[in-house]
């Protein structure tokens, strides 16, 4: 795990690129010291948890999960009859789960070092409890990703591609039509593929969404003490 020192930082922004994301307004937040895992939880990590506990994820119990349509085989795609109205590129796929992230004809056998997918909030909390850790708060996550840099758009600075290099596994091309994969990957990437940030962790600012212990806090209340060390629900001091 990577130690993150206590400190004060400006969370969010007064100039959000997508206002619906709820990153405004900027507010000062004070945090105690904590630890973060250096890497995202991989398929191999999650498999150890499952083998030790016999845990079934919610996707496995429900029998389906949502998959980005660009990652599906044509055979699987032709069997899908629904989509998310506001985001039609997300399709409900029967048999999609952490072992079969692109549906029943896919496998993680050849990518044990890629981040685990199709993990619900309850699944993530169960994994953390087994590991003796917890989910990071929204403030801890952003503070860790920023790595001490102030007033920057990205963890490495203000340019998406400094010196023409890709610093995170994100979409290149016209979303959601074509991902050119200029960063070397389409979909997920190995958890160790990103260069470590100034905090020492890798990949937290990449393509994968992540769970927090509480819902994000858009339009955070302002005032004395409002940003004093927000905590996760009662759990150990070391988040994942």
Per the listing, tokens 């990071």 go with 136
Report, as an integer, the average pLDDT of 140-164: 80
> For the chain, what is the largest distance between any 2 Cα atoms, rounded to a whole number of angstroms?
57
pLDDT confidence of residue 219: 44
pLDDT per residue over 179-230, tens digit each?
888 878 888 889 888 665 555 555 555 556 777 776 555 444 444 445 666 7
pLDDT value, residue 238: 56
Q: Per-residue pLDDT for 146 more than 90?
A: no
In contact, 105 and 72? CB cutoff 8 Å? no
Do 167 and 142 touch, CB atoms closer than 8 A?
no
Cα separations in angstroms, 127 against 11, 53, 56, 166, 198: 27, 10, 11, 31, 27
Residue with token string 């005032």: 223
Pick from 113, 120, 91, 107: nearest CA to 210: 120
pTM: 0.84
Between 122 and 207, the more confident residue is: 122
* Phi, psi of 164, deg, nearest 5: 75, 10
Share of the chain above pLDDT 70, in %: 81
Read out DSSP for 19-54?
GGG---S-EEEEE--EEE-SSPPBHHHHHHHHHHH-
Q: What is the pLDDT of residue 64?
A: 97
How confident is the model over 163-189, as a mean pLDDT? 81
In the chain, what are the domains? 1-41+119-240 (3.90.1580.10), 57-113 (no CATH)
In this predicted model, what pLDDT tens digit does every residue of 1-57 receive, in sequence order?
889 999 999 998 888 777 777 788 989 999 999 999 989 999 999 999 999 999 999
User: Do residues 113 and 45 lie in contact, with contact meaning Cβ atoms separated by under 8 Å?
Assistant: no
Chain CA centroid to CA 166, Å: 18
């Amino acid at each position: 795990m990577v130690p993150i020192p206590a400190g004060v930082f400006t969370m969010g922004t007064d100039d959000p690129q997508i206002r619906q994301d709820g990153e405004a307004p900027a507010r000062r937040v004070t945090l105690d010291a904590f630890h973060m895992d250096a890497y995202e939880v991989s398929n191999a990590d999650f498999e150890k948890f499952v083998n030790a506990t016999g845990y079934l994820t919610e996707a496995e119990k429900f029998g389906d999960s949502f998959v980005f349509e660009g990652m599906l085989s044509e055979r699987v795609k032709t069997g899908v009859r629904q989509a998310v109205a506001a985001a039609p590129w997300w399709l409900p796929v029967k048999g999609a789960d952490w072992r079969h992230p692109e549906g029943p004809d896919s496998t993680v056998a050849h990518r044990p070092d890629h981040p685990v997918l199709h993990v619900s909030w309850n699944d993530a909390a169960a994994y953390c409890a087994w590991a003796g850790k917890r989910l990071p708060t929204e403030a801890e996550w952003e503070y860790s990703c920023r790595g001490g840099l102030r007033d920057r758009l990205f963890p490495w600075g203000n340019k998406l591609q400094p010196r023409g290099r890709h610093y995170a596994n994100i979409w290149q091309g016209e979303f959601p039509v074509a991902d050119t994969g200029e960063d070397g990957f389409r979909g997920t990437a190995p958890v160790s593929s990103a260069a470590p940030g100034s905090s020492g962790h890798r990949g937290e600012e990449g393509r994968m969404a992540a769970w927090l212990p509480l819902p994000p806090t858009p339009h955070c209340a302002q005032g004395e003490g409002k940003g004093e060390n927000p905590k996760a629900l009662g759990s150990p001091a070391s988040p994942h």
